[in-house]
Structure 1
Amino acid sequence: MTVMIKEASLEDKKQVYELWKASYPSQNQNYLTYYFKTLFDQGTCLLQEQDNKVISSIQMNEHVISFGARKIAIAYLLGVSTLPDYRRRGHMRTLMEAALDETSHNYLFTFIKAFNPKLYAPYGFETVYAHRHFLIKSEELNKVSCLHTQKEATASQLLYAYKRFIVKFDGYYIRDLAYYERLLEELELKEKRMVVYRDPVQGVCGYLIYQIIKDEIQVKEAIYQDSISLMRMLKAISEPEREILIEVSEKEHLEKIFPLAIPKKQGFMMVRVNNYELFNKYFNKQVKNAREAFEILKKPLWLHEYY
């Protein structure tokens, strides 16, 4: 039977939502609903139809990253999904090839989260960025004060903290006020929580975005100016019966302030260079893979984006 690839229309949106819900059963349903209401239409969704229903889809979102002294638009792929009864028939390969053909004509890089590197490597993706995970016991914060920590901040204050933090890195998303306005909306879903550090002189200069999952407090994003502000925010969210799992970039050496926390490395972002000839001409280099492309940056990478 013929399978058609097309761009999702408004009429397809409900079916794509149900497809994602079936493909990602652990995803918070409130967040999924929020994503389709607020963010889905900002990207492009390719899908396949068979038997009068949507059987697979892939979403392509555009973002702008810092790359050296330049700002570069990139494509981010997500929502890679196929209905269980239609898997292992080559549908996703066909859809992925169509998506990469689209992004290759419009973007220098295509990003995808490193859920399954072996699945995406055949398409030219390479893991260029990993997170370091530190498990911190609450007793390691016993002597730390949570002075100057609060639970609220405005979008402009969060953006200010991000801009101050991110100057030490490269490869990061160029975030704007709208990004943090959406983040505050997302926090209202109660899946994630936030604590901020408000310096008496400089104002908000740090925040943590975290979730409580069973016996762990999982810090998904840590923005801070120094070890004191980080430790105080961690103290503010700590609980005696729960450990804190914090995700940071490869170059953030939290073992210096938490010597008992042994870091574990986990791949986070894969990248495909869509046109090596153009890249090498643009940057006057001779790179042969995505890892080499990102190694030309003089500052460490920082990527914590999920869509």
Structure 2
Amino acid sequence: MVQKPKKQDKQQLYNLWKTIFAYADGGSINYFFNETYNPDDFYLIKDEKEDLIVAGLLRDRQQLNLNGYIFEVSVLDNLFTLYKYRNQGIMHSLLQKVLKELEYSELFSLIKTSKAKDFKQYGFETIYYKKRYLVNRADLYNVDGYSISDVYKPNDLLEVYTKFISRFNGHLIRNEKMFKNYINILKASGKEIFVTRNADKEIMGYLVYNYVASELVVVEIVYLDSISLLTLLNQAMGMNAYIYVDVSENENLDKVIDNLVYEVIDYMMIRINDKELFKRLFNNDRATIKSIMKTSNRPLAIGYY
């Protein structure tokens, strides 16, 4: 039976996350369970005889800006099934129950793509992709005029993010409270954050990077012009021979830096929970999520990782 965590389940759920998601932890799980944990955001299946949580997922509540409309949505994240209980249809039952519930409250639900699970069977389709650029030291050149710093306030990041993301369609909305939490989680997980400012001390961009298997990956980079982009990339490069840089599918870093190579990665899927309402909203009996997004003159970017 699908259920919410009880008070006594919190420690067991924490222990499971520390084991299952250890590869992405670095301290962020401790912060999450100490500061932001809300049992209402979880869906679990338990083996009642063993009093054991065997599967679960997190419902991350967000707001989606799509074609000028603001939608309450959920990103379904941190899905897991204990090894002993896999291939028994448990996650299938969990997802069906959760999605059925969301059909009554949200027009859209989102989920990260997975090589281990085919979410198309639940009505999800991939619409968000990201590029992963390989940037070698020799590719970068120095620029003057902008400073680099690790001193900033949440509102600084919000200000530049809002300007940057306004170029895009289909993105998740952030506010100052979200940035405060975002910064704390990033710091708790050991990720580095740097900002760049122009000569007038105006913030022009920021980046977040992390080391994955001894390779530096820029997991988010926000910039208002080419100088801020290059300033931030030079900071990330440091003493590395190369770095990887993740951006949305429609950001073309190779227009600023010559001879860059990249791969396109499936990233995020979306599900229309009420197709009839969706068609009425956009006044189109043949509307699909992809056809509606194409009516915007702004490219897609999700603003989530």
TM-score of the pair, normalised by structure 1:
0.92
Distance in 2 (alpha carbons) for counterparts of 1:36 and 1:271: 27
Q: 1:122 & 1:139 partners in 2: Cα distance?
A: 45
Residue 17 in structure 1 maps to residue 14 in structure 2: yes
Is 2:97 the counterpart of 1:98?
A: yes
| Alignment of structure 1 residues 240-259 onto 2, 5 Å | 240-259=239-258
Structure 2 unaligned segments of length 5 or more: list them: none
Query: What residue is the counterpart of 2:268 in the other structure?
Result: 269
Aligned-residue offset at 1:141:
2.0
Q: Summarize the Cα distance change of 1:35–1:293 in structure 2 as closer, same or farther, 3 Å threshold.
A: farther
Instruction: Please state how far the C-alpha of 1:303 moved relative to its aligned partner.
Output: 1.2
Deviation, structure 1 residue 143: 3.6
Please report how far the alpha carbon of residue 276 of structure 1 lies from its aligned counterpart in structure 2 after TM superposition: 1.0
Q: How far off is 1:301 after superposition?
A: 1.1
Q: How far apart are residue 129 of structure 1 and its match?
A: 0.5
Shift of 1:182: 1.2
**Aligned partner of 1:6 among 3, 8, 11:** 3
Q: Deviations over 1:162-200 (max 9, x none)?
A: 111111111111110011111221243252101111122
Alpha carbons 1:47, 1:58 under 8 Å: kept:
yes
Worse overlay, 210-219 or 288-297? 288-297
SS at match of 2:80: strand
Q: Given that residues 153 and 196 in structure 1 are in contact (C-alpha distance below 8 angstroms), is that contact kept between their aligned partners in structure 2? A: yes
Aligned position for 2:298:
299
Q: Percent identity?
A: 27
Give the one of 31, 47, 56 matched to 1:34: 31
CA distance in structure 2 between the partners assigned to 1:299 and 1:270 by the alignment: 19
Partner of 2:51: 52
Shift of 1:293: 4.1
What does residue 64 of structure 1 align with? 63
| Equivalent-residue separation in structure 1 for 2:207 and 2:247 (angstroms) | 11
1:138 maps to 137
Other-structure match for 1:82: 81
Alpha-carbon spacing, 1:238–1:29, altered in 2? closer, same or farther (3 Å): closer
Q: Extract structure 1 runs of 4+ deviating beyond 4 A.
A: none
Q: Post-superposition shift, 1:128?
A: 0.5
Can you list the C-alpha shifts for 1:219-246, whole angstroms capped at 9, x where unaligned? 1111101111100111122133331111
* TM-score in terms of structure 2 length: 0.93
8 A Cα contact 1:43 1:59, kept in partner: no
Secondary structure, aligned partner of 2:160:
helix
* Matched pairs, number: 303
Summarize deviations over 1:99-156 as a string: whole Å, max 9, x none.
Answer: 1011111100000011238521111111001001111011222444584111121111
The structure-2 alpha-carbon separation of the partners of 1:42 and 1:296, relative to structure 1 and needing over 3 Å to count, comes to farther
Letter matched to residue 225 of structure 2 = D
The answer for unaligned runs of 5 or more in structure 1 is none
What SS does the aligned partner of 2:75 have?
A: strand
- Residue 19 of structure 1 contacts residue 56 of structure 1 at CA under 8 Å; is this kept in 2? no
Cα pair 2:154 2:180 within 8 Å, conserved: yes
Change (3 A) 1:66 1:172: same
Q: Could you list the per-position Cα deviations for residues 39-63 of structure 1 after superposition, in whole angstroms to 9, with x for gaps in the alignment? A: 3317521111112211111221211
Taking only aligned residues, the RMSD between alpha carbons, in angstroms, comes to: 1.9
Letter in 1 for 2:46: E
Q: Residue 113 and residue 134 in structure 1: after superposition, are their counterparts in 2 closer, same or farther (change >3 A)? A: same
